[in-house]
Structure 1
Amino acid sequence: MPKHLLPRRLRFLVALLSVLSPLCINAAEPSPMPLRKPNVIFFIADDLGYADVGCFGQKKIHTPNIDRIATEGMKFTQHYSGSPVCAPSRCVLMTGKHSGHSAVRDNRELKPEGQFPLPANTITVARLLQQNGYITGAFGKWGLGGPESSGKPLDQGFTRFFGYNCQRVAHNLFPTYLWDDNHRLALDNPPIGEDQKLPADADSNDPASYKAFTGKSYAPDLYAEQALRFIRDNKDHPFFLFFPTIVPHVALQVPEDSLKEYEGKLPETPYTGGKGYLPNRTPHAAYAAMITRMDRDLGRMLALIKELNLDDDTIFVFTSDNGPAPQDMGGTDTKFFNSSGPFRSGKTSIYEGGMRIPLIVRWHGKIQPNSTSDRVTGFEDWLPTLLELSGNKKSVPTGIDGLSFASTLLGEKLPERPFLYREFPAYGGQQAIRVGNWKAVRQHLKPKGNAKPNLHIELYDLQTDIAESHDVSDEHPDIVTKLDNLMREQHIPSKAFPFPALDKPGSN
């Protein structure tokens, strides 16, 4: 019978069933779960050079897990640390502000423990992620404010902290204590002075001569275990795991089980002390073994994430805080390992070797495997990038210098970065800016004594002169003027870190 000929009550029931039936069918189907915000594991080495890992050209040191995430993710060939030394570089990373605007601009130590602190209520990437539902943890070396200061990690956006607060304490990898949140945790290690020499009557080739410079509890192992526990404890929540390991920063110290992989396979001259840090019988083997053991820690995190079925939900970042240690500091031999690759200089220098660092990012199913980007990026870019990748783009604060490169990671094109600026009021006073392939450098801006600052601007074309060996400033005065103006605009004076040659009006 046609519907319009049915009795009125029956027509009402038919109409009601036609409305309810789709609802019943949909109720029987599971509703789609909301997408989980990605976890972030940010693994940052300490004084690791651009070419200290296999996927960036290293031939003598084994880094299978770092190389694996390069194969499974994206490698960046033009990534810059925030500064050529530890604390200011990490400040740029945390705040998204470059070193001409940031609060911490040098490795200034404050007694009794710690470095110049981040001010109270600093807007850090950890705090912003925490405010957007993330559990946040830091494991390794902090260096942005002592345990009683405004800069301590639990007051700067971290829910959990385990490791060294102070960079100086971290000069010994077998310390007498570490910080467990706000608690000072004693370790079963003897007190070891950070700068010693082998006794004059000791045999430099006898392993027994070096027993006084080791201990039982190896700090990188301890905070790696805590990081793994943090992952397990928070597997059901989005988390930000910041892992600023102290490796391979001197002193050259590594447990025997790792040293065996390299001992006797590399040429050695014992380091007996006298150039900072602790003596070591096999400095080449120790440096290589430290990096390979660090690589093992990354591998354990990769394995745990897969075991917990979090591989598709976890972003891995691997990088370094600045370039490699200066040649022969504490027994290091960066020339032997070609740690800076093709670049000039290393740590403490504003030339490429001091700030251009390895960067690899892996996000299974999201980032194209075995891909490479030559986009110019810097530590200040991580704050907006991580917020965008986590779906919190609206939380990016105004007034930062960082530019998100989330689109690059996901395979899209971005406009070229307008410029990348760096300054460093130590080691003579240095300033640099990069625009495209042009890089301007100024050295000796804070000379010792009564000497006047050198305001000469060096100019390099990185496209043809990656080693910064040929100053072409005389050939391009127009480019020099343009970059000079940009450098002047990017410096804001800091009362805590005065830089007279840049602070005085018209001194540039």
Structure 2
Amino acid sequence: MPLSTRAIRRLLLSLLLVAPVALFAASEERPPNIIFILADDLGYGDLGSFGQTKIRTPHIDRLAREGMKLTHHYAGSPVCAPSRCVLLTGKDPGSAFIRANRGMAKGGIRVVGQPESEGQYPIPDAEITLAEVLQDAGYKTGGFGKWGLGGPDSTGAPLRQGFDRWFGYNCQAVAHNFYPTYLWDDDKTIPLDNPAFPAHDTLRDDEDPNDPASYERFKGNEYSADLISEQALNFIRDNQEQPFFLYWASTVPHVALQVPDDSLEEYVGLWEDPPYPGGKGYIPHFNPRAAYAAMITRMDRDIGRAIDLVEKLGLANDTIFVFTSDNGATSGTHEGLAGTDAAFFNSSGGLRDGKGSIYEGGIRVPAVVTWPGKIPAGSTSDRVTGFEDWLPTLGEVAGANEVPTDISGVSFVPTLQGKKQSARDSLYREFPSYRGQQAIRVGDWKAVRQNLMPPQKTTQIVRTELYHLGTDRAEENNVASEHPELLARLEKMMRESRTPSKDFPFPVLDEATP
């Protein structure tokens, strides 16, 4: 009798796994619940606890006060899908399957609003995800928000990758609109009471950009972020009697700039706020700065509701909260995109660039972790950590019997305990889009290579840049010429840190990979 797909996956899991040592809890204790909240395009400086002065985030800031801030934490990639792949598989971008955003539509044509044609390139069935590791450890697993790792009928669909429950968007392109006409509820779509309108549009010639009424047609009745947060809270209520893993992949504050009026009113009039009539992507907004701030504060409100619920249910001491972002802020690299204004909010927190860039502003992200009585309150760690580290770390705190051995991530449980932990040897990043980028960090040194995939018919000499982040966190002073031996060593490490991918080719690097 042939093995089922699930049986094959379990067999692969057993062959590629090692049993971790549970350091937080004795075996007779209930494993902790894990609530992992992933913001979408939130910059390093967008939280009050990370220096933000204009946007209010009291509940996330509370988590920072009551737990640990990770100040040198790196997303898996400067954009959505590959970053999430690193997070869920524990493999860095040099070995992860998904390395760039790519649609995977039937017939090669994706039609936004038609569920049968949506979705991104899928992670393979054989990949072992964090959700599967926790599911096999006895956790109830639920995902809510944005997926982006495989269409509804693909091997990468969330219910085929370790999640017992899914609610939200499957396709990243559909998630560009907070008032969609449908969302996914497990493996079926549910209609929403929203008018259909494109997620990329401008005001018409007959619409006055200085008249608020011109922007009304870009609103709806059911705000997706509200629906997603309510379903996430229901998951907590429904699973309070057993360990659960809640993966809350919020779509905030990814553009388009859309937020209900009751939240928008909290910021309207606080500062000069020129209308965005469109023209730089996505849809117009009359108060773009207020909208960006209000989106983040509304997300923070919902996180506060989750904290309150956990406390009401008596689960606070048995629940780990993690909050971080999938990459840097939207307009840190593309100023003014969709009406965003990273400079006004200092969204990158003094780091260079933002989303889409492999400089610090694109990949270093805010991160806070709290677990009462286990993680020291009010603590900060400057140890370098990355998205690939979450799978082994959370597998360990959950007491999972087995975690994959073919991963790049390293558990940082000792760091979370407030203990000394040796520094990681290196942290590698690559991105075969936006002209091709590559970087590696070793200690405070960071080597960066840009323009590895220039436009056709363009001849460009690629020179490796070198920065000392301990004294130059903004990456303003390229000291490559002063340290030729170090530069050569880091270039060699970059070549050795990757495996070529036939699905996501990176010609310049593939040819040089040993």
Query: Which of the five TM-score ranges fits, normalised by the shorter chain?
Result: over 0.9
Is 2:471 the counterpart of 1:477? no
Gap runs ≥5 in structure 2: 1-25, 106-116
| RMSD across aligned positions (CA) | 1.2
- The question of 1:336 aligning with 2:344 is answered yes
Give the distance between the partners of 2:187 and 2:27, measured in 1 at CA.
38
Runs of 4+ in 1 over 4 A off after TM superposition: none
2:137–2:399 Cα contact (<8 Å) kept: no
Larger Rg: 1
- Cα distance in 1 between the residues matched to 2:407 and 2:487: 26
Q: Residue 151 and residue 453 in structure 1: after superposition, are their counterparts in 2 closer, same or farther (change >3 A)?
A: farther
Tell me the SS of whatever aligns to 1:291: helix
Higher RCO structure, 1 or 2 (CA under 8 Å, sep 6+)? 2
Look up the match of 1:209: 214
From 250, 254, 258, give the equivalent of 1:249: 254
Aligned with 1:396 (options 390, 403, 413): 403
Matched pairs, number: 475
Structure 2 contact 125–155 (Cα < 8 Å) conserved: yes
CA contact under 8 A between 2:495 and 2:512: conserved in structure 1? no
Q: Could you tell me how far apart the structure 1 residues matched to 2:247 and 2:125 are? A: 20
Match of 1:355 in 2: 363
Q: Bigger shift: 239-248 or 196-205?
A: 196-205
How many angstroms apart in 2 are the aligned matches of 1:274 and 1:70? 38
Deviation at 1:164, TM superposition (A): 0.3
Deviation of 1:453 after TM superposition, in Å, equals 5.4
Measured in 1, the distance between the counterparts of 2:460 and 2:29 equals: 55
Name the structure 1 match of 2:381: 373
SS in 2 for 1:263: coil
CA distance in 2, matches of 1:474, 1:438: 14
Give the SS at the match of 2:494: helix
Does structure 2 conserve the Cα–Cα contact (< 8 Å) formed by 1:269 and 1:282?
yes
In structure 1, distance between residues paired with 2:508 and 2:207: 49
Q: Displacement, 1:211?
A: 1.1
Q: Is the 8 A contact 2:27 2:399 kept in 1?
A: no
Mark the runs of 5 or more structure 1 residues left unpaired by the alignment: 1-31
Question: After superposition, what is the alpha-carbon deviation per residue over 1:262-315, rounded to whole angstroms, capped at 9, x for unaligned?
Answer: 011121110001111010000000000000000001000000000000000000
Q: Secondary structure at the match of 1:330?
A: helix
Give the drift of 1:258. 0.4
Judged with a 3 Å threshold, the aligned counterparts in structure 2 of structure 1 residues 33 and 50 are, in CA distance, closer, same or farther, namely closer
Q: Distance in 2 between matches of 1:237 and 1:432?
A: 41
1:49–1:323 contact (8 Å) kept in structure 2: yes
What is the match of residue 225 of structure 2? 220
SS in 1 for 2:143: strand
Report the residue type matching 1:441 in the other structure. V
CA distance in 2, matches of 1:41, 1:129: 12
In the other structure, the counterpart of 2:420 is 413
Residues 185-209 of structure 1, C-alpha deviations (whole Å, 9 max, x = no match): 1100010101111112212222211
Alignment of 1:267-282 (within 5 A): 267-282=272-287
Give the deviation of 1:332 after TM superposition.
0.3
Distance 1:342 1:194 in 2: 31
Separation of aligned partners in 2, 1:415 and 1:367: 18
TM-score (norm 2): 0.91
Note if contact 1:445-1:454 (Cα within 8 Å) is conserved in structure 2: no
1:96 aligns with 90
Give, in whole Å, the separation in 2 of the partners of 1:249 and 1:453: 33
Q: How does 1:134-145 map to 2 (within 5 A)?
A: 134-145=139-150
Say yes or no: does 1:74 pair with 2:68: yes
Three-state SS of the structure 2 residue aligned to 1:468 is: coil
Q: Which residue of 2 aligns with 1:51?
A: 45
Mapped contact 1:381–1:402 kept (Cα < 8 A):
yes
1:241 alignment partner, SS class: strand
Q: Is the 8 A contact 1:71 1:369 kept in 2?
A: yes
Q: Which residue number in structure 2 is paired with residue 108 of structure 1?
A: 102
Could you tell me how far apart the structure 2 residues matched to 1:332 and 1:269 are? 11
SS of structure 2 residue aligned to 1:451: coil
**Aligned residues of 1:121 and 1:156 also touching (Cα < 8 A):** no
Match of 2:170 in 1: 165
User: Counterpart of 1:439 in structure 2: which amino acid?
Assistant: K
Could you tell me whether the CA contact under 8 Å between 2:40 and 2:252 is conserved in 1?
yes
Residue 487 of structure 1 and its aligned partner are, at CA, apart by: 0.3
TM-score, length basis structure 1: 0.92
2:137 matched residue in structure 1: 132
Which range moved further: 116-125 or 418-427?
116-125
Which residue number in structure 2 is paired with residue 385 of structure 1? Answer: 393
> For the Cα contact (< 8 Å) 2:201–2:278, is it kept in 1?
yes
Q: Secondary structure at the residue paired with 2:337?
A: coil
User: Are the structure 2 counterparts of residues 454 and 423 from structure 1 closer, same or farther at C-alpha, using a change threshold of 3 Å?
Assistant: farther
SS in 2 for 1:431: strand
For the residues of structure 2 that align with 1:90 and 1:38, how far apart are their CA atoms?
23
Aligned-pair distance for 1:457?
A: 0.8
Measured against aligned partners, the alpha-carbon deviations of 1:31-77 in whole angstroms (never above 9, x if no partner) come to x9931100000001000000001000000000000110011000011
Give the direction of change, closer, same or farther, for the CA distance of 1:33–1:47 in structure 2 (3 Å limit): closer
Query: What is the CA-CA distance between 1:180 and the residue it aligns to?
Result: 0.1
Does 2:510 correspond to 1:503?
Answer: yes
Letter in 2 for 1:53: L
Q: Is the 8 A contact 1:120 1:150 kept in 2?
A: yes
Q: What's 1:460 paired with?
A: 467
Match 2:180 to one of 175, 182, 185? 175
What displacement does 1:325 show?
0.3
The 3 A distance-change label for structure 1 pair 409 and 456 is same
